[in-house]
Amino acid sequence: MLEIKLINKDEFGVYLDGVMDLYNGIFKNKVNQEYFLWRYLYNPFDELLMVLALDQGRVISNYSAVPLFLEHNDSKYKSGLSIHTMTHKNFRGMGLFAKTGDLLYQHLKSEGYKIIFGFPNASIHRALNKKLKRVDIYEFPTMSLDMQKVKNKPIEIITDDDFLLSYNFVHKDKSKISVHKDLDYMRWRYSKCPTVKYHNLIVKQNDSVTSFFVIKKYDNKINIVDYFINNQADFDELFAQVLTYAHDQKADQVTTWANINTDLKLWLEKNGFSNSLPITYFSGKILDDNCSLNYHINNWQIVMGDDNVY
C-alpha cells in the first residue's frame, strides 16, 4: 500500500535507514548515518521538514528541506532550503515527486514559512518549475582561478575554524536578502559538519574578526564557500592567505561564487578569476505574497555554502 507521509523528529529514527539506503542507491557520493543526523536533527532549528513516500513501509521517495531564517532589512523570515529530492528507480513515473513536494509546500505554508528555495541540478530543475511552480532567480557561474598562472608569495595563514573569536565587526548589508547566520549556525554548518573539513581564514583586530573566507578542498580545487569582506585591504590579505593555502595543497584551481554588481566580483576578476563551469540554478517559491522577499537577484546575497552540496 502506497502512503505519502509527513514525518516529525520523533519518527525520524524509524525511517532513517530507509532514507539513507534510498540516497546511497541514487547518488554517487555516499553518506552515513552521522551525516543525516547532523543535517536533519542537530541543526540549530527545531523542526524536521521531510515528506516520504512509503510502499508497504519501505521508503521509495523523499522530498525534504532544512529550516533556516532569511533576513532582509530588519526582519527575519522562516524559510526552507530544499535539499533532497529522490525516488527509487522502480517507482518513477508515478508522480511521487509532485505528491511529496506538494505536501511539503503545504506544510511549510501552514507553519508560517515564507519561502522555499534551493539549488536544483539539471535533472530536477524542469520538474520543479513545471510541477511545483518554482521560479528561477539566477544561474550562478563558478568563478575560477587557474593556480598555474599565480606566483607563490607565501604569507601566514590565520584561522578560526571553530568560530570562537568575536565577530562584532561583521555586519552584512541589510538591504540584501541573505541566510541569517549567527555563530551557532556557522559552527553547525562548518565546524561540526561530519563529512567535510572546512577552514575559516580570517583578518582580525585583536580578538575580533573583521573579514573571513570559509574554504574547503574538493579534489584539486579550493572552494571559497562563505565570506564576509569588510574592505579592499581585508580582501587582499585573505586572497593572499587562500593562495598560500592553495599552493600548499597543490591545488589546480580556486573557485567561488560572486553576486553580479558587487565589489567582490570585480576584485576577483581583477585577480584573475573568470566565469566557468559548473553553472548552478538558484530558484525559489514564495509562500507568502505579503512578505518583502522577491525573485530579483540584485536583492540577494548568496554564497556557495548556502547550497548544501558545498
Q: How far is CA 229 from CA 211, 243, 263, in A?
A: 5, 16, 10
Could you read off the pLDDT of 98-157 as tens digits, one per residue?
Answer: 999 999 999 999 999 999 999 999 999 999 999 999 999 999 999 999 999 998 889 999
pLDDT at residue 268, as a whole number: 96
Q: Are strands 75-87 and 2-7 parallel, antiparallel or unpaired?
A: unpaired
Whole-angstrom distance, CA of residue 65 vs CA of residue 83: 5
pLDDT for 172 equals 83
Cβ atoms of 63 and 97 within 8 Å: the answer is: yes
Predicted pLDDT of residue 278: 96
Bridge partners of 61, per DSSP, are: 53, 87
The residue ranges of DSSP E strands in the chain, in sequence order, are 2-7, 49-55, 58-72, 75-87, 115-118, 135-146, 178-179, 198-205, 208-218, 221-228, 253-256, 274-286
- pLDDT-above-70 percentage for the chain: 100
Tens of pLDDT, residue by residue over 189-213, are 999 999 999 999 999 998 899 999 9
pLDDT of residue 171: 81
CA 188 to CA 208: how far, in whole Å?
Answer: 20
How high is the pLDDT of residue 153?
Answer: 87
Structural domain boundaries in the chain = 2-113, 142-278
CATH architecture for residues 2-113: 3-Layer(aba) Sandwich (3.40)
Task: Give the DSSP letter of residue 56.
Answer: T
Burial of 157 (0-12, 13-18, 19+ CB in 10 A): middle
| pLDDT score recorded for residue 170 | 85
Instruction: State the Cα–Cα distance between residues 119 and 69, nearest whole angstrom.
Output: 17
Mean residue pLDDT across the chain: 95
- pLDDT score, position 207: 87
Q: For position 243, what pLDDT does the model report?
A: 97
pLDDT of the residue at 28: 85
Local confidence band at 46 (pLDDT 50, 70, 90 cut-offs): confident
Residue 271 has pLDDT above 90, yes or no: yes
- The CATH number of 142-278 is which of 3.40.630.30, 3.40.190.10, 3.40.50.1000, 3.40.50.150? 3.40.630.30
* pLDDT tens digit sequence for 152-181: 889 999 999 999 999 988 888 889 999 999
Average pLDDT over residues 216-240: 96
